[in-house]
Structure 1
Amino acid sequence: MRLEGNERLCKLDTEILAGLYEYRALTTEQIGRMYGMSMPYTYKKLHVLRKRKLLHSEPISGYLTSQRSQGKYHRISETGITCLRKQGMFVERQAYQLKIDKYHLPFVLMTNDLLVDLEPYGWTLSDSRDTKARFNLNRSDNIQGMLLHRHTLDEYGIYILSANTSPKNLQKTIREVGDYDQINDFLIFTKGKESFESIAKGLLNEDGRSVVGKRRRIKIFPHSFGRSYLQHYDNEDKILGFVVSEMGVAFKEKLTGSSIRHDGLDTVVWHEGEEKYFVNLLDTDLKKIFNLLRYRKEKYAEDGRKLLVLSQIAFHKELLEEIRHIDYLETGPNQVMSYLNNLK
């Protein structure tokens, strides 16, 4: 039943304040998208809430590095928390405890971008505070939270690297990914080519590749592409469907159990008259790259199947340059996303 007038506004007020309490900081655009409001109505609604002293609005810095003016972000006030308590919501933190310092603000906003884009597609976000409390991690650790897919129950530790991530913070992230005993899967979102390539090389080269070797999945995404790609993440069958439909590949078989002779190589396809092992690297999963690098010349000579890798960036060839028995299917993010969106 559709609510109208003051009743709808009251309900929406409470939802917005509850969102600000839970996620600490949200941009104007994030609030509009999260609650299905047009931008003019979002501005009007936030103005009313601000006038009632239910929230604070402050200018953003460091979030959109390509833009000088980055708009405002919003956080709940003590009056807003009191309002939630009167509405019957259990709240235990005060407004000052939810305030975010200037350094961490861009990372919180980028993490909340994941929430806004992925929650409708089955993902649930736990923020850094809850994640550190759950796994008894240091409060100063870089981990931004956990993403859980409600249908597959796959759960990932999240890191977000800005375009100007320092070597010190890069190394700290690598150390955390290697040290955590309780988390086996990671999603790393990057802003900028340099941070993308630096974290990939750093993790692959760390301790003789042992960090990547002991993890199940370490996927690295450009921030924007990752948010789009993960909307389709039930399994990799859709990506296989893409290469069969669009790139001249024929599916042969999915290996299981003892028929899998090499870790990570379980999908066999026909391509250019040959059987090959197909691997999707659109997600730049370092564990897949680790397994590809282990399929060395002597294993290829014994097996006879080449590798066929789906890639969207030349950087993958650099990471795999020592492997000669490999062919590439090159695509672009727009082509892939267009195909996946048409499946919805």
Structure 2
Amino acid sequence: MDIFKDMVVDYHDKLDKRRLAILCDLVKFRALTTNQIRDKYFGGKGNNVNNVLSRLRKSGYIKTGSVKGSREGKKGYPYHTITESGIEILFANGKEFEYEPRKPHFQEFQVRYIVQTNDILLYLEEEGWQSLNSRDVKFKYNLDKRSNILGELTSPDKENYAVYVFERNTDVRTIGRIQSEIVTQASSIPNAIIFTKGKNSFNKFVELGLKKGLHTGGKVKLIPSHLGVPIFSAFPKELDWVRELGKHINFEVVSTEKEGGSAKQSFPYLIRHNGEEKYFVDMSFTDLSQLHKLEAYARSNYRWEKKRVLVSYMLGNSIDLMSKQVSSITDTEQLSYDSFLEMVNGFQFDSDMF
């Protein structure tokens, strides 16, 4: 077998590092557009990417299609997937994988969701996050193959998040199934991030989540992609985001559960705000699970802890969700869009797919 392996490499010529890396990414991400590959491996410029992809295609290592509906009135953006020959040449070049690489199998309508999600995963990997594609996540946690999960993100703090991406007007039945998944799989993946493209999907998720009483033991972060990607890029560690928020809305972190705080804290962050010690809850992500915890605290623990809660938010409807009882024990501060842009250094999430 070793002799045969050497013959394969000699016959095909050993691929350079860049072509090997592109093929490895096609294993990892399942499908990538030409622009995604250009941005990562060619500095976002030039047409040399087309020459490299053409050679890989002629060698039988990749296949190319178009993302239907990605450009109105025009042929869709080209995307690429690896072939069995592409996987074989990776093994012949000594590449190893945590999960068994397989030729991707998905339906045409799924391509758009896959490359949309990959836009996010690629951005965040550059900032220290780790990611898995949907197939590997299902294998890792033994999830139902029919699950709607699109991937997993792991922060530098080792917090795992199930990843979902909503179109501008995702069907409410799909949203309901996803909310059920988030709750069911919380023992395996305790947190979730849901990126939305428009108000309709965002509002549907909130309305249905409130009706169903959506909550888990973790975080369920719902955020428009044009806000969420810059935040998670600039602040891969949640504590850094919280401390930066403090500079803009005038509070100081006193302790956290992870850094010397009390294990009995009702919320992870204890702060000093306007000369008073309070808990801090960030509703910038319209987290219905956090909202449930606020309601529970207002009903019980506040009676003996007597600590008010400072709640920060960006979108106005996040605060409108709080009951009168919660509002009576909270102080609120809204982060302005100008402050947000300053915090993320003006970064704007620019994507063909969004």
Give the TM-score range, shorter chain: 0.7 to 0.9
TM-score, normalised to structure 2's length? Answer: 0.78
Q: Does 1:45 align with 2:52?
A: yes
Residue segments in structure 1 that go unaligned for 5+ positions in a row? 1-6
Q: 1:60 aligns with which of 38, 59, 67?
A: 67
Separation in 2 of the partners of 1:300 and 1:93? 52
Aligned residue runs from structure 1 range 6-21, under 5 A: 10-21=16-27
Separation in 1 of the partners of 2:14 and 2:88? 20
Separation in 1 of the partners of 2:117 and 2:340? 24
Does structure 1 conserve the Cα–Cα contact (< 8 Å) formed by 2:246 and 2:253? no
Q: How far apart are 1:25 and its partner, in Å?
A: 0.4
Does structure 2 conserve the Cα–Cα contact (< 8 Å) formed by 1:128 and 1:145? yes
1:23 maps to a residue whose letter is F
Does structure 2 conserve the Cα–Cα contact (< 8 Å) formed by 1:125 and 1:147? yes
Does structure 2 conserve the Cα–Cα contact (< 8 Å) formed by 1:242 and 1:336? no
Aligned residue runs from structure 1 range 29-108, under 5 A: 29-40=35-46, 41-62=48-69, 70-89=76-95, 95=103, 98-108=104-114
The structure-2 alpha-carbon separation of the partners of 1:188 and 1:48, relative to structure 1 and needing over 3 Å to count, comes to same
**More relative contact order, 1 or 2 (CA 8 Å, 6+ apart):** 2
Separation in 1 of the partners of 2:200 and 2:271? 34
Q: Does 1:188 align with 2:194?
A: yes
Does structure 1 conserve the Cα–Cα contact (< 8 Å) formed by 2:162 and 2:189? yes
1:136 maps to a residue whose letter is N
Does structure 2 conserve the Cα–Cα contact (< 8 Å) formed by 1:55 and 1:74? yes
Q: How far apart are 1:264 and its partner, in Å?
A: 1.9
Corresponding residue number in structure 2 for 1:335: 339
2:285 maps to a residue whose letter is D
The structure-2 alpha-carbon separation of the partners of 1:241 and 1:67, relative to structure 1 and needing over 3 Å to count, comes to farther
Separation in 2 of the partners of 1:270 and 1:93? 51
Does structure 2 conserve the Cα–Cα contact (< 8 Å) formed by 1:29 and 1:39? no
Q: Does 1:243 align with 2:249?
A: no
| 174-183 or 289-298, which deviates more | 289-298
**Secondary structure at 2:126's aligned position in 1?**
helix
The number of residue pairs the alignment matches comes to: 323
**Secondary structure at 1:236's aligned position in 2?**
helix
Does structure 2 conserve the Cα–Cα contact (< 8 Å) formed by 1:63 and 1:110? no
Separation in 1 of the partners of 2:334 and 2:171? 31
Q: Does 1:152 align with 2:157?
A: yes
Q: Does 1:220 align with 2:222?
A: yes
Q: How far apart are 1:216 and its partner, in Å?
A: 1.7
Percent of aligned positions that are identical = 25
Does structure 2 conserve the Cα–Cα contact (< 8 Å) formed by 1:276 and 1:308? yes
Residue segments in structure 2 that go unaligned for 5+ positions in a row? 1-12, 347-354
CA RMSD of aligned residues (A): 3.1
Query: Which whole-Å deviations, capped at 9, do the CAs of 1:150-177 have from their partners, x for residues lacking one?
Result: x322112222222232122111111111
Corresponding residue number in structure 2 for 1:4: none
Does structure 1 conserve the Cα–Cα contact (< 8 Å) formed by 2:221 and 2:285? yes
Separation in 1 of the partners of 2:122 and 2:343? 22
Q: How far apart are 1:303 and its partner, in Å?
A: 5.7
Q: Does 1:110 align with 2:112?
A: no
Separation in 2 of the partners of 1:78 and 1:301? 63
Query: Which whole-Å deviations, capped at 9, do the CAs of 1:227-249 have from their partners, x for residues lacking one?
Result: 221121213244333333x33x2
Does structure 1 conserve the Cα–Cα contact (< 8 Å) formed by 2:295 and 2:323? no
**Secondary structure at 2:202's aligned position in 1?**
helix
Separation in 1 of the partners of 2:14 and 2:287? 44
2:245 maps to a residue whose letter is F
The structure-2 alpha-carbon separation of the partners of 1:314 and 1:14, relative to structure 1 and needing over 3 Å to count, comes to same
Q: How far apart are 1:31 and its partner, in Å?
A: 0.9
Corresponding residue number in structure 1 for 2:5: none
The structure-2 alpha-carbon separation of the partners of 1:329 and 1:43, relative to structure 1 and needing over 3 Å to count, comes to farther
Query: Which whole-Å deviations, capped at 9, do the CAs of 1:195-215 have from their partners, x for residues lacking one?
Result: 122223323432xx3x41x42
Does structure 1 conserve the Cα–Cα contact (< 8 Å) formed by 2:56 and 2:62? yes
